[in-house]
Amino acid sequence: MFFAGSLTRGDRSVFDSENYAFWSDDLGATWQIGGIVPRLGLNEAIAAELEDGGVLINTRSYTNGVSDGRRAVTRAHFDPNGAIHFGETILDQTLIDPAVQATLLRYSWSDHGGKSRLLFANPAHDRARVNLTVRLSYDEGHTWVYSKVIERGASAYSDLVVTRSGEIGVLFERGNTGGLHFVRCTLGWLTDGADSG
């Protein structure tokens, strides 16, 4: 089990938080903290395993206390001794973001003739928590070739799931006071029929 978390040291503000990695190799009986991403201004991180055994960490991002308006992405890999090494953190220019928790999930792997698919969802706006959008990547999150808005109005924190039938489920807040909502869609709908899984 692998998780990306956030920490704020000393009297720093939450806008100067850092992301760190921690995991368990024994189903949660013990945990190991693997290191801290070398950049301030990151919090509410999410992570997905990559096909090469590495990890993609995706997070909301601030510079000097101001939202960057884009998601920050860090790729990490493990060395033969099991230590984690973080690559450069970059702002993904496609993943516009109003500084909100988002969700990232692997839909499928390429082994056995399948396709590598990653899903991402967030309110796709650089300032307001609106336009909850689901995106699909076939290249481990380097590009996001398909996207669809599933809620044009107020939307905030979200979580993705893949159902037994292969549908994409999204649980999300409809703003701060609109309650929780759950919607489902298919790969076919997301890709206008180009990919049915």
Q: Give the pLDDT confidence score for residue 112 in this predicted structure.
A: 73
Domain end position, chosen among 47, 64, 98:
98
Q: Does 64 lie in the same domain as 109?
A: no
Q: Give the pLDDT confidence score for residue 91 in this predicted structure.
A: 98
Q: Give the pLDDT confidence score for residue 163 in this predicted structure.
A: 96
Q: Give the pLDDT confidence score for residue 178 in this predicted structure.
A: 87
pTM of the full predicted structure? 0.95
Cα-trace Rg, the chain:
17
Q: Does 113 lie in the same domain as 88?
A: no
Q: Does 135 lie in the same domain as 125?
A: yes
CA pair distance 70, 87, nearest whole angstrom: 18
Q: Which domain holds residue 2?
A: 1-98
Q: Does 152 lie in the same domain as 76?
A: no
Q: Does 93 lie in the same domain as 110?
A: no
pLDDT tens column, 133-149? 999 999 999 999 999 99
Q: Does 188 lie in the same domain as 172?
A: yes
Q: Give the pLDDT confidence score for residue 175 in this predicted structure.
A: 84
Q: Give the pLDDT confidence score for residue 64 in this predicted structure.
A: 93
Q: Does 87 lie in the same domain as 45?
A: yes
Q: Does 40 lie in the same domain as 56?
A: yes
Q: Give the pLDDT confidence score for residue 90 in this predicted structure.
A: 98
What is the Cα 153 distance to its own chain's centre?
21
Residues of the chain with pLDDT under 70: none
Q: Does 184 lie in the same domain as 158?
A: yes
How many domains is the chain built from? 2
Could you tell me the strand order of the sheet in which 32-36 lies?
2-7, 18-23, 32-36
Q: Does 195 lie in the same domain as 104?
A: yes
Q: Does 94 lie in the same domain as 13?
A: yes
Q: Give the pLDDT confidence score for residue 51 in this predicted structure.
A: 96
Residue 26 pairs in a beta bridge with none
